[in-house]
C-alpha cells in the first residue's frame, strides 16, 4: 500500500481512471475468505488525506467528536425519557466511569456539579 508522497505521485500519474482502478493500483486491496478481491476505499482515502496533511487521528481536540464531527452542544431527551450526554462530551472533561455528580435543577436548566465540589468551581 502506497503512502505519503509515493501515494500522491501515483494518484497524479494515473490521472482520470476509475476510483476502483485507483485504489487497486495504489495497493489498497485485500483477499476475502472466498478468494475474491476487496478494495479498501476507506484506508485509501485516509492515507490520501494524511498524505495531503489532513490528520484524521487527532485526539483531544476540543469540540470534535467521533469521526471528526463538530459537537453541537445540544442534547435531546430520548423516547424513554433519558437524557444522554455522550462519550465525546465526557472525554472533553476527562470523566471516568463511576464519577458522581449532584443534579441541580433550576427553572429551565439542569446543572451537573461534581459530587463534593464547591458550586463556584468551574474547572
Q: Which domain holds residue 106?
A: 66-114
**pLDDT tens per residue across span 18-76:** 999 999 999 999 988 888 899 999 889 888 888 888 766 554 455 555 555 677 777 88
Assess if residue 121 is contained within a domain.
Answer: no
- Sign of the CA dihedral with 48 first, then 52, 54, and 57 last: positive
Residue 109 CA from chain centroid, whole number: 29
**16 and 42: one domain?**
yes
**Same domain, yes or no: 70 and 110:** yes
Does residue 99 sit in the same domain as residue 70? yes
Q: What CATH code is carried by the domain that includes residue 70? A: 2.10.260
69 vs 101, which has greater pLDDT? 101
Does any domain span residue 57? no
The full 3-state SS of the chain, as one line of letters, equals CCCHHHHHHHHHHHCCCCHHHHHHHCCCEEECCCCCEEECHHHHHHHHHHHCCCCCCCCCCCCECHHHCECCCCCCECCCCCECCCHHHHHHCCCCCCCCEEEEECCCCEEEEECCCCCCCCC
Tally of domains in the chain: 2
Specify if 106 maps to a domain.
Answer: yes
56 occurs within a structural domain: no
Q: Is residue 8 part of a domain?
A: yes
Is there a domain that residue 12 lies in? yes
Separation of CA 3 from chain center:
21
pTM attached to this predicted model: 0.46
Amino acid at each position: 500500500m502506497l503512502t505519503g508522497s509515493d501515494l500522491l505521485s501515483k494518484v497524479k500519474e494515473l490521472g482520470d481512471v476509475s476510483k476502483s482502478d485507483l485504489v487497486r493500483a495504489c495497493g489498497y486491496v485485500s483477499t476475502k475468505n472466498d478468494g475474491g478481491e476487496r478494495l479498501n476505499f476507506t484506508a485509501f482515502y485516509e492515507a490520501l488525506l494524511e498524505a495531503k496533511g489532513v490528520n484524521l487521528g487527532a485526539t483531544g481536540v476540543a469540540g470534535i467528536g467521533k469521526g471528526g464531527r463538530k459537537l453541537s452542544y445540544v442534547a435531546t431527551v430520548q423516547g424513554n425519557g433519558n437524557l444522554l450526554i455522550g462519550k465525546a462530551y465526557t472525554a472533553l472533561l476527562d470523566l471516568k466511569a463511576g464519577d458522581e455528580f449532584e443534579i441541580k435543577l433550576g427553572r429551565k436548566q439542569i446543572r451537573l456539579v461534581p459530587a463534593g465540589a464547591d458550586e463556584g468551581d468551574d474547572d
